[in-house]
Structure 1
Amino acid sequence: MSDINITVTDRHGRQCASSGSAWEPKMGYSRAVRAGNTIAVTGTVGVNADGSYSDSLADQTRRSLEIIQAALEALGGRIEQVYRTRMYVTDVSLWEEVASVHGEVFGDIRPATTIVEVTRLIDDAALIEIEADALVS
């Protein structure tokens, strides 16, 4: 995760994390926001630091979760504090690839989760987008 650079700023009484994505300022959102003891991580695709994507759904899932973890940690959270994930995939028939990686990360944590198929994501090379919510103690 050393290639994931997250910056944190205070905005309107909240801590906002940015991953440097070109979409963030264009659309006016943050990678993650901490308000009190809650962290919400926006939909995160598995894009590599150089802007490329793996052709593998499992690899994109793993990368997305790495970015989510980095955002959580930048805001003082931990992956173990995630209580909800939502996964949007472009081909739900490959759900087992997603489930395998999700299980590697969250097997002992067991957050509530949803996986749904969507027609496409904002970047045509993206195969999955994941959201996460955490309660920080």
Structure 2
Amino acid sequence: MRQNISTGTEWEDKVGYSRAVRIGNHIAVSGTTAVDSNGTIVGKNDVYKQTLQCFRNIEKALKQAGSSLKDVVRTRTFITNIENWEDFGRAHAEVMGGIKPVATLVEVSKLIDPDLLIEIEVDAIIGSDNNKSLD
């Protein structure tokens, strides 16, 4: 059974995607940026703050799908300047350090908005024994 998770943003219908898709105990969360519920970019010029906001948004989608960060088994991160890897790494470790998913970090030339510095997608499998939340 397939469950599509939506945030209700205009982009999902315009581009034809879901924030997350759950099939069985697997959840894939699409590329997620540091935009809050009002559509405002959080942490302009700050990779650390943007990374934390990405994970807040990811966590919200996972909860809608009946999961949590504890079930994340893979993170894929796209960063516009690889020299900022340490700020990303610090935030990633704060959120995912106790979970320790496999992780990929790739530099890209740009994201959809020049103020966005980072985009993260995750895969989760429900049933992990770890427990981590941003709450």
TM-score when normalising by structure 1: 0.88
State how far apart, in whole Å, the 1-side matches of 2:68 and 2:101 are.
Answer: 13
Q: Tell whether 2:123 aligns with 1:104.
A: no
Look up the equivalent residue of 2:7 and give its one-letter code: S
SS in structure 2 opposite 1:83?
Answer: strand
Which residue does 1:29 correspond to in 2? 17
Spell out structure 1 runs of 4+ moving beyond 4 A. Answer: none
Aligned Cα RMSD in Å? 0.9
State how far apart, in whole Å, the 1-side matches of 2:23 and 2:56 are.
Answer: 22
* Alignment equivalent of 1:47, drawn from 35, 39, 46: 35
Segments of 5+ residues of structure 1 without an aligned counterpart are 1-12
Which residue does 1:132 correspond to in 2? 122
CA deviation after TM superposition for structure 1 residue 50, in Å: 2.3
Q: Tell whether 2:92 aligns with 1:92.
A: no
Aligned-pair identity in percent equals 45
Segments of 5+ residues of structure 2 without an aligned counterpart are 128-135
SS in structure 1 opposite 2:112?
Answer: coil
Q: How many corresponding residue pairs?
A: 125
CA deviation string 1:51-95 (max 9, x = no partner):
222211111111110000010011011101100000000011000
CA deviation after TM superposition for structure 1 residue 42, in Å: 0.2
State how far apart, in whole Å, the 2-side matches of 1:107 and 1:28 are.
Answer: 33
SS in structure 1 opposite 2:13?
Answer: helix
